[in-house]
Amino acid sequence: YMKTIERAHSPSKLWEKVQLSKQYSKALEQIDENLKYWPNFLVHKCKQRATKITQYLIRMRKLSLAARPKLVGVHKKVEKRERNREAKALRAANIDQAIEKELLERLRSGTYGDIYNFPVQQYQEALDDEEKLMQEEEEADYDEEE
């Protein structure tokens, strides 16, 4: 914007707006040409402002071309709730395992006698585990004898 003294009688049209060229060097020449009779300090100030705006636009173009990682918000409340649920599930799983071990020990010791209505799949797994343990013990004993 430039203030033009000839338009002082109409304040709404006092300032003249001049479109600068997109080329930096031409824009500086236009500033020199249009502000020929202005104080050098103000001309220099206008050139600095034009330089700053040009650098800003260059930086914005460069940033828009560069791929930036997308930021994802962290919901602390939900994360805490999930952590608590996982911890609770782990505690429950440990209790289930302890109960299962206790029942298997009772079954092996013959506490229940001839009760056969326990789940077949778990019983088979327990038997398989027992067989593996027995085989490992026999192999260890066999290795010690040699």
What's the pLDDT tens digit per position in 82-115?
999 999 988 888 887 888 788 778 777 767 666 6
* More confidently predicted of 5 and 29: 29
Residue located via tokens 């994360």:
79
Residue 119 has pLDDT above 80, yes or no: no
Per-residue pLDDT band at 130 (split at 50, 70, 90): confident
Residue 146 has pLDDT above 70, yes or no: no
CA distance 113 to 104: 13
Cα dihedral: 15, 21, 27, 29 (round 10): -90
CA distance 92 to 112: 25
CA distance 95 to 89: 10
Please count the residues of the chain: 146
Percent residues over pLDDT 90 in the chain: 38
- The two most distant CA atoms of the chain are separated, in Å, by 119
